[in-house]
């Protein structure tokens, strides 16, 4: 499986992530949920000490069963585009329960990397896309509701911005709108 870049130009661990040493595997997700990406993809990750934090974090998650991944684990691995067919069902389950699920800092941390998944993935996994869009619609509705409530509370407080503006939530709203097909900004 080639990604259009010569794997020889990368350090050894990165070559594992990109091409020749990595077998092309696509197994049904229900069968693989209790397995790790290491078991699913069929190769271990041996990480030298000098590798970057991103590579070391990936290697720590690689042998962990997908069914044990937290929202934060999924945020990281999906953000790195690793194991998408195997991780996306778990991520979507989290998002269906709470589209603004948070890990460390703020709501929407898992939704952001899901929305940044390449279009080619969504074209091959239409049901995942449908579920992701529904989660994004629910998140947008919740964020707009929060903004309205906040604005109503702040309207009566002297010296406060009555718009209900929250920069983190506003940024997430701006990210969600283009992800939702047929969404009309308004």
Question: What would the pLDDT profile of 56-96 be if each residue is shown by its tens digit?
Answer: 899 999 999 999 999 999 999 999 999 999 999 999 999 99
Model pTM?
Answer: 0.75
Distance CA 78, CA 122 (A): 13
Q: Render the burial of 157-181: b for 16+ CB within 10 Å, e for the rest.
A: eeeeeeebebeebeebbebbeebbe
Residue written as token pair 């009555």: 162
Q: Which of 15-29, 117-131, 138-152 has the lowest mean pLDDT?
A: 15-29
């Amino acid at each position: 499986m080639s990604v259009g870049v010569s794997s020889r130009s990368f350090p050894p661990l990165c070559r594992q992530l990109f091409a020749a040493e990595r077998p092309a595997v696509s197994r049904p997700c229900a069968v693989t949920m209790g397995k790790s990406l290491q078991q699913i993809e069929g190769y271990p990750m041996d990480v030298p000490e000098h590798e970057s934090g991103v590579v070391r974090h990936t290697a720590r998650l690689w042998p962990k069963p997908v069914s044990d991944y937290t929202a934060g684990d999924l945020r990281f691995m999906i953000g790195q585009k690793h194991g998408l067919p195997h991780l996306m069902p778990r991520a979507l389950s989290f998002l269906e329960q709470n589209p603004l699920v948070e890990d460390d800092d703020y709501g929407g941390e898992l939704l952001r990397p899901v929305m940044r998944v390449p279009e080619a993935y969504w074209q091959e996994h239409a049901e995942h896309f449908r579920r992701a869009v529904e989660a994004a619609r629910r998140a947008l509705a919740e964020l707009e509701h929060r903004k309205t409530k906040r604005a109503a509370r702040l309207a009566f407080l002297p010296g406060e911005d009555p718009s209900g503006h929250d920069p983190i939530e506003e940024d997430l709203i701006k990210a969600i709108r283009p992800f939702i097909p047929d969404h009309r900004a308004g």
